Structure 1
């Protein structure tokens, strides 16, 4: 084995092990699948060579997600080769538990039978995020502004589900008791557990959205059933509530598009961002720009976004509000209270001035939030 092979193998093994740790509490099935795949990667040189060849040129962070999404896609597509594995997937009614001893042999038999299809999936498909709870990223801060209307823009929009967050329902549990509701939806609520002192907005009413725009490396058109299945493949298969939320999100987006224009464009971030933003023109109302958990997938890990957004925002005639749920990087960056949590940050360009707030730390799935002292100054700024 040459040194480069061993290095890439060790890096990828660390990614599988990290994903197994991350989902241990939330997804027993995926915890076991990531663990089994990591063990085979460590023990089987031929398997390691296959997966490293398929993953050539891909970020090591993406590969474990793509392997399991590729398998889930085959299960959802009812491929005969995946029929036995489907018995372990609650997403298609599989009754077998993740702890069953037959999962390992079935997993690898399925992998062997579908090697060509899975290799193509790993090599060519982009990771598609579809976590509708992340819509709270823009919805909650925007309710503080008091703006009557605004344009909404998402970077890394995937299928654009979070562009319709104002039509969903987010139930924020407050520390010490009480509940704060955001969004106009009445069903399929996202439960969010809050920690720390919460400074509520004056009304909780978001601006009316005049237009909804998104860009992505490979935007998905949800009118295509195959693309809906592809999006669903990135949901952990033993979390039926998230699959149901995905269906509700698709309905909400279609409903939102009947009230305000909806558009998507292909865009490679960060290099094509200036052209995309320029194409939006000079907006006739404030703009709410947001992104959530996309910088992990960018070649520069998102470092190039801020100067490009700032340059565009300063040239706009109306305020620009930029919301982010992303990892903080750098030796001097604040550390998340829980490894893997995201920083909830706000930037505002208004009347020739720029302000920045770090409101909270948040779980990547939006299920828990730890509020920071900056939330109260954010509230007071608007009052």
Structure 2
């Protein structure tokens, strides 16, 4: 999907992820893709640390402004040692609550109340879909029972997704992450804010509001590997709730072997499984897509129990529902 070289990866990121979402990231990524000196520095990093989003976020975390590519390039060359240290000690843990808009139509198909488990949870902000307000196509409005939330998620849809008329009841929330972020830790939240792309003030405001919601009821997030902990988390959930394990933009960081292990494990557990990953990440899902993954660059496939139902943009701005008949959703 990303090409075989670092240059191809950055060009892909600029053309298919940043374009239309962040003009600054598009500019920087395409500049890096054509700059041998910057590419040689990035190629000194371990392969998993060369990710465009990680490198660009680390630069912003250290204070680079929304500058031209020439100024960005000069800043990186002058600060490379400090930049490399941040890259090596941090992860891309974008906790984009906008993704709950593409998960909500799937959650609404399941019998409540729900017990939610997020793998790769970061700070756990996506564990609160019942605490946010939603605006689909600026026509359908959903709010919590106690009124409009400080977090409003907007989503444009096609294909008539089954948008519910009320939010689900969530009675239990848990997550797992190799390095969970603490909503009460200012430095960790500054890193989370740095992961918001330049030119997206609405996302930043929404993130800060979601953090305040989580602070009032801090999420229960376990430190560990998802393959080693997911079964324990499922067994810990209330027995009178429908257990849902979900993840967004997580499995791409696993090896093919670990992805296959996770899928085998999750299918054996008494829970439902919602995945929101790039189209090529889960092979069994990719095989069922109506459009070949190669023709859907930059899009995610949203699936329930391994059955793809829709395409989505990575941050939840758009949902393209293509399955007219929802899968059978009996309690597992």
TM-score band w.r.t. shorter chain? 0.7 to 0.9
Structure 1 residues 11 and 276: alpha-carbon distance in aligned structure 2, compared to 1, 3 A threshold: farther
Q: Which residue of 1 aligns with 2:161?
A: 198
TM-score, normalization by structure 1: 0.75
Q: Which residue of 1 aligns with 2:248?
A: 292
User: Which of residues 209, 214, 231 is equivalent to 1:248?
Assistant: 209
Distance 1:223-1:121 versus aligned 2 partners, 3 A rule: same
Aligned residues: 318
Match of residue 104 from structure 2:
139
Return closer, same or farther for 1:32/1:325 CA change in 2, 3 Å cut-off. Answer: same
SS at match of 1:58: helix
Alignment of 1:1-383 (within 5 A): 11-21=5-15, 22-40=17-35, 43-44=36-37, 47-53=38-44, 55-58=45-48, 60=50, 63-75=51-63, 85-86=64-65, 88=66, 103-147=68-112, 149-173=113-137, 178-181=139-142, 183=144, 185-201=148-164, 203-207=165-169, 209-257=170-218, 262-270=219-227, 272-274=228-230, 276-277=232-233, 280=236, 283-300=239-256, 302-313=259-270, 320-329=271-280, 330=283, 332-334=287-289, 335-336=292-293, 338-347=296-305, 357-374=307-324, 376-378=325-327
Tell me, yes or no, if the aligned pair for 2:95 and 2:122 is still in contact at 8 Å: yes
Aligned to 2:118, the other structure's residue is in SS state strand
RMSD value, Cα: 2.7
Q: Gaps spanning 5+ residues in structure 2: where? A: none
What secondary structure is seen at the aligned counterpart in 2 of 1:289? strand
The one-character-per-residue Cα deviations of 1:208-266 (angstroms, maximum 9, x if unpaired) are x2221110111001111000001111110221111111101101222344xxxx31111
Encode CA deviations 1:172-209: one digit per residue, 9 max, x unaligned: 128xxx425365543442211111133444x42312x2
Contact conserved, 1:192 with 1:368, CA < 8 A, in 2? yes
* Unmatched 5+ stretches in structure 1: 1-8, 76-84, 89-97, 314-319, 348-355
C-alpha contact (below 8 Å) 1:198/1:371 kept by paired residues: yes
SS of equivalent to 2:208: helix
The 8 Å contact of residues 168 and 252 in structure 1, kept in 2 or not, is answered as no
CA positional deviation for 1:367: 0.6
Structure number with the bigger relative contact order (C-alpha 8 A, sep ≥ 6) is: 2
**Cα deviation, residue 136, structure 1:** 2.8
Q: Partners of 1:256 and 1:308 in 2: how far apart?
A: 30
Deviation at 1:322, TM superposition (A): 1.6
Please give the alpha-carbon distance, in whole angstroms, between the structure 2 residues aligned to 1:363 and 1:152: 22
1-structure distance, mates of 2:234, 2:312: 31
TM-score, L = length of structure 2: 0.86
- Structure with higher Rg: it is 1
